[in-house]
Amino acid sequence: MSRFLIPTFVAIALTYSACGPSAPPYDPAHPTTEPSAQTPDSSPPDAVTSPAAAPTPVRYSCGDASVISVTWGNEQAHVEFPGGRAVTLPKAQSASKGGDEVFVGDTVSLQRDGDDIQLFDGEGPARQCAAQKPVE
């Protein structure tokens, strides 16, 4: 009886695969492309899709002769200090209603008013900083 089962299974498998959906013939005049596995709606909210989409950091010259780099993102500010220290500060919604934007972290906070920022780092005085002109 097992002699008949194997050929029967093979015949069923061949019949099923022949009845299944088939791919259309290839037409070089109308090439098709596979859809991307990841659509724009399925990407994480903070994902960078291409280098061109990455935000450009803004450099600020401060009154104490230091230069701070800030990358403004979606409801956050990424601050890079001289020496390599960096912090990401979320936007404080309740404090950002009067035109200025305020970003608050554990020990660092930042207030932006147009091209100027005030940077508070720890308990020291605030740094007054102005955006540098882009180099062309």
The pTM score is 0.57
Residue 135: predicted pLDDT: 66
pLDDT value at position 41? 47
H or E segment to which residue 62 belongs: strand 58-62
Q: What is the pLDDT of residue 43?
A: 42
DSSP state of 122: T
Cβ contacts of 106-114, under 8 Å, gap ≥ 24: 108/79, 110/70, 110/77, 110/79, 112/77
> Domain 57-131 classified CATH 3.30.1560?
no
Token pair 């934007």 in the structure block, residue: 101
Distance CA 54, CA 132 (A): 19
For the chain, give the percent of residues with pLDDT over 70. 56
Q: Both tokens of residue 111?
A: 């207030």
The single-letter code of the amino acid at 89 is: L
For the stretch 72-109, pLDDT in tens is 998 999 999 999 999 999 999 875 566 689 999 999 99
Residue 74, SS3? Answer: coil
pLDDT, residue 27, reads 52
Amino acid making up residue 17: S
Stretches in the chain below the pLDDT threshold 50: 1-24, 26, 28, 30-50
